[in-house]
């Protein structure tokens, strides 16, 4: 699983924190913080610990040229978090910047297998390298990082909101957050004291839609119909579909979006529902999940983390699209099947809403 998503303590603490206001004003304190590196590169962060501020400070390192991110948006973010008190990197979208945990405290992340979640990726995890003396290594090359999705509500960590809401896509923003604007009393799980300053560095990569506008969608003859209840996809109706689908991978766009195009290496936020061709009920879906991810992770297209029919069928699809995928067994689970619902040789059908691509 992706590092931020798999770090359950950090992911949980991005929501439901204490409420104190931050601003851009100068703050007294001790220690120092130096940050360099433009948006899209691996940052260099030098913390002269112990580093503290009395009031939250916001600094724009790179100002992007994209749209302004509004409150309640869902944003793709590369997030770096460090404890100002000791300079330790708590978590990072750039794995090489994370301070390694002592061997005795490490606990492996569990990633769902394909048999447990038929379309769930088996995401790879990069190794960590040392970051000593509160300084992260510099890198000149471009680096994608491992983005996560954050919905920017009043319940989100205030420092995250300060870094993102009102700023433009393509920006790199640093926030030195006093305790109540960061994790407050909840920081103990991360080794952050209830009076420690927390440093957030955030690259704002883009935003995702809440849902697809399907008002103009029409189902082609012979295809299953998407069933919805209260605006949410609940299944596929095969009553008017052909009894046997055409051979090979079939892709039809019920709605064509105008956003960025998904291609190999793209990170994709999506909602999906899967049903065996002709079956009465779905075998998997994430329309009822909290986030438009797969097992907590964004889909990285074209890397073999999902069945071949997804990697091939979603290639070239633009954000804002709804597509139907009909995937033959040879591009899905072949002559082995998966779990109790997908038998050997089954053709799979998915409705997929592509909400965002970076």
List domains and CATH numbers for the chain.
3-207 (3.10.50.40), 225-357 (3.10.50.40)
More confidently predicted of 40 and 133: 40
Asked if residue 22 has pLDDT above 60, the reply is no
**Could you tell me what percent of the chain has a pLDDT over 90?**
74
Q: Global pTM? A: 0.81
Structure confidence at residue 189 (pLDDT): 83
Structure confidence at residue 346 (pLDDT): 97
Question: Of the given ranges (135-139, 186-190, 192-196, 332-336), which has the lowest mean pLDDT?
Answer: 135-139
Condensed to tens digits (0 to 9), the pLDDT of residues 85-129 reads 999 999 999 998 987 765 554 433 333 333 333 333 332 333 333
Computed over every residue of the chain, the mean pLDDT equals 84
Q: Tell me if 126 sits within 8 A of 145, measured CB to CB.
A: no
Q: Tell me if 162 sits within 8 A of 150, measured CB to CB.
A: no
Distances (CA, A) of 62 to 70, 106, 202, 204, 258: 18, 35, 10, 10, 26
Q: What is the mean pLDDT of residues 158-164?
A: 97
Question: What is the Cβ-side half-sphere exposure of residue 332, based on CA atoms within 13 angstroms?
Answer: 28
Structure tokens at 101: 């945990």
Helical (H) or strand (E) element with 12: helix 8-13
**Could you tell me what percent of the chain has a pLDDT over 70?**
80
pLDDT confidence of 14, banded at 50, 70, 90? low
Pairwise CA distance, residues 266 & 357, whole Å: 6
Pairwise CA distance, residues 356 & 1, whole Å: 19
Cβ atoms within 10 Å, residue 259: 18
Residues with Cβ within 8 Å of residue 289, at least 6 apart in sequence = none
Pairwise CA distance, residues 185 & 167, whole Å: 28
Asked if residue 31 has pLDDT above 80, the reply is yes
Using the structure block, give the residue that is written with the tokens 């064509």.
256
Structure tokens at 306: 């999902």
Asked if residue 25 has pLDDT above 80, the reply is no
Distances (CA, A) of 43 to 81, 85, 88: 12, 20, 15
Residues facing 30 on adjacent strands: 52
Cβ atoms within 10 Å, residue 35: 18
Q: Tell me if 149 sits within 8 A of 79, measured CB to CB.
A: no
Pairwise CA distance, residues 179 & 81, whole Å: 13
Structure tokens at 283: 């075998």
Structure confidence at residue 168 (pLDDT): 98
pLDDT confidence of 15, banded at 50, 70, 90? low
Structure tokens at 103: 């061997």
In whole angstroms, what separates CA 125 from the centre of its chain?
Answer: 15
More confidently predicted of 159 and 114: 159
Coil, helix or strand for 221?
A: coil
Q: Is the dihedral of CA 286, 292, 295, 296 positive or negative?
A: negative
Asked if residue 137 has pLDDT above 90, the reply is no
Structure confidence at residue 143 (pLDDT): 64
Q: Give the gyration radius of the chain's Cα atoms.
A: 22
Residues facing 274 on adjacent strands: 284, 350
Structure confidence at residue 30 (pLDDT): 86
Condensed to tens digits (0 to 9), the pLDDT of residues 70-84 reads 999 999 999 999 999
Q: Which of these, 38, 68, 232, 62, lies nearest to 140 by C-alpha position?
A: 38
Distances (CA, A) of 358 to 5, 67, 74, 145: 17, 14, 13, 11
Condensed to tens digits (0 to 9), the pLDDT of residues 257-297 reads 999 999 999 999 999 999 999 999 999 999 999 999 998 89
More confidently predicted of 302 and 14: 302
More confidently predicted of 104 and 242: 242
Q: What is the mean pLDDT of residues 36-42?
A: 95
pLDDT confidence of 190, banded at 50, 70, 90? confident
């Amino acid at each position: 699983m992706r590092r931020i998503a798999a770090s359950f303590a950090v992911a949980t603490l991005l929501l439901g924190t204490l409420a104190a206001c931050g601003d851009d004003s100068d703050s007294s304190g001790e220690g120092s913080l130096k940050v360099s590196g433009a948006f899209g590169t691996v940052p260099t962060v030098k913390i002269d610990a112990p580093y503290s501020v009395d009031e939250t400070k916001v600094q724009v390192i790179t100002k992007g040229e994209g749209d302004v991110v509004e409150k309640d948006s869902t944003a793709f973010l590369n997030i770096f978090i460090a404890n100002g008190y000791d300079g330790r990197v708590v978590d990072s979208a750039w794995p090489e910047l994370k301070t390694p945990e002592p061997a005795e405290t490490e606990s492996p992340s569990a990633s769902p297998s394909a048999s447990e979640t038929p379309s769930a990726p088996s995401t790879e995890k990069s190794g960590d390298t040392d970051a000593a003396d509160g300084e992260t290594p510099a890198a000149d090359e471009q680096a994608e990082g491992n983005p996560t999705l954050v919905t920017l509500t009043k319940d989100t960590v205030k420092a995250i909101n300060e870094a993102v809401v009102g700023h433009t896509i393509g920006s790199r923003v640093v926030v030195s957050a006093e305790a109540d604007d960061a994790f407050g009393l909840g920081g103990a799980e991360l080794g952050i004291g209830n009076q420690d300053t927390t440093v957030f560095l955030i690259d704002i990569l883009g935003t995702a839609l809440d849902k697809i506008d399907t008002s103009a969608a029409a189902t082609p003859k012979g295809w299953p119909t998407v069933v919805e209840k209260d605006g949410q996809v609940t299944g596929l109706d095969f009553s008017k579909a052909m009894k046997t689908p055409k051979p090979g991978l079939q892709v039809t766009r019920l709605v064509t979006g105008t956003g960025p195009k998904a291609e190999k290496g793209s990170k994709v936020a999506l909602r999906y529902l899967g049903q065996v061709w002709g079956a009465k009920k779905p075998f998997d879906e994430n329309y009822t999940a909290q986030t438009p991810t797969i097992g907590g992770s964004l889909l990285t297209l074209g890397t073999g983390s999902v069945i071949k029919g997804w990697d091939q069928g979603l290639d070239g699809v633009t954000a804002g699209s709804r597509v139907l995928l009909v995937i033959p067994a040879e591009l899905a689970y072949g002559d082995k099947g998966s779990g109790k619902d997908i038998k050997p040789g089954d053709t799979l059908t998915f409705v997929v809403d592509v909400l965002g691509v970076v």
